[in-house]
Amino acid sequence: MLRDGHGRKVNYLRVSVTQRCNFRCQYCMPEKPFSWVPKENLLSFEELFLFIKICIDEGVDKIRITGGEPLLRNGLSGFIKMISDYKSGLDIALTTNGYLLSDLAQELKDAGLIRINVSLDTLRHDVAKKIAGKDVLTKVLDGISRAQEVGLGVKINNVPLKHVNSDEIIEILEYCKKRDMSIRFIEYMENRYAKDKIQGMSEEEIKKVIATKYKFVEIKRESSSPSKLYELENGYQFGIINPHAHDFCEDCNRIRLTAEGVLIPCLYFEEAMNIKKAVQNGNIIEATKILKEVLKNKPEKNRWSTDENNEISNRAFYETGG
């Protein structure tokens, strides 16, 4: 079992397979991303898999594929199959914007994918266009339906933004409730790639809106989950991720690998090490050494906070995969 320098168990690896994306979400990516990595700089699936195997052998049992938009990378289902064939019982999940999901859901499921998180910020076509930069909603909703049809576990991620989609919180909660899908509202995390003037909603503000229609109580969160959990009177559960409170850092169990081989101990910080050379040389000893070094230096908590120094993270969500 892997442990970090603060004694926390680490069993969760998030792997970004590309930083490219077919959306330009206001809170994530500038209209013209300035740091596109040339394709030849990406690790191949075989190279990523070599590192994933090391992590699994060391006790990682939860793997999430993300991006950029992971469904843009050709051969993704084959990559998922490599992982699921390596060891049974792994929890293999994917985070996607859903645009290409409808055609791929069945093959992803057949490859061994278990769960999927789809980002759905709005149910209105004009608002979707405003957030993502193009008219995406119909395809995203089709993707969600198809993923449910083929038997993938589907959760929705939603980033409420003031004056953009903040008036849809109840509508979208009810959309998910009706379809028996969980939803996680995520507080907007400030970063220097987001559009100027974006204003996220705080956990308290989100709860206040939901309380105008529903009674709910906080229930125990799943261990190592960043999401606080709430339950409506009828038993439906929803979550809110509040990184500004850092509550979840104390049992953080995750590390992140980018498509270029950068191994990141904390989403907020730029500190990281690169495993690229090691995996390209097939050097398992060196890659394991880097993994342990990164874990040793994993920060105790992130620094998203509204009251401490007004910090802004330099980490791009489209690189780290959120």
Please check whether residue 90 is in contact with residue 63, taking contact to mean a CB–CB distance below 8 angstroms.
yes
Stretch that binds ligand SF4, among 16-24, 85-93, 240-248, 267-275 (CB under 6 A): 16-24
For 170-193, letters b (16+ CB in 10 Å) and e give eebbebbbeeebbbbbbbbbbbeb
Residue (6 or 129) nearer to ligand SAM, CB: 129
Strand order in 182-186's β-sheet?
216-219, 227-232, 237-241, 182-186, 153-158, 115-119, 91-96, 62-66, 12-16, 254-257, 262-264, 273-274
Residue (21 or 209) nearer to ligand SF4, CB: 21
H-helix or E-strand spanning residue 125: helix 125-132
* Site membership for ligand SF4, residue 97 (CB under 6 A): yes
What does the per-residue mask of binding to ligand SAM show for 278-317, with x meaning CB under 6 A?
A: ---------------------------------------x
* Site membership for ligand SAM, residue 238 (CB under 6 A): no
Taking CB within 5 to 8 Å according to partner kind, which of ligand SF4, ligand SAM, none is near residue 295? none
Stretch that binds ligand SF4, among 17-25, 161-169, 174-182, 221-229 (CB under 6 A): 17-25
Please check whether residue 152 is in contact with residue 108, taking contact to mean a CB–CB distance below 8 angstroms.
yes
Among 25, 65, 92, 267, binds ligand SF4 (CB under 6 A): 25
Taking CB within 5 to 8 Å according to partner kind, which of ligand SF4, ligand SAM, none is near residue 157? ligand SAM
Give me the least distance between CB of 139 and ligand SF4, in Å please.
Answer: 12
* Phi, psi dihedrals of residue 53, rounded to the nearest 5°: -60, -40
Read off the amino acid at residue 135.
Answer: D
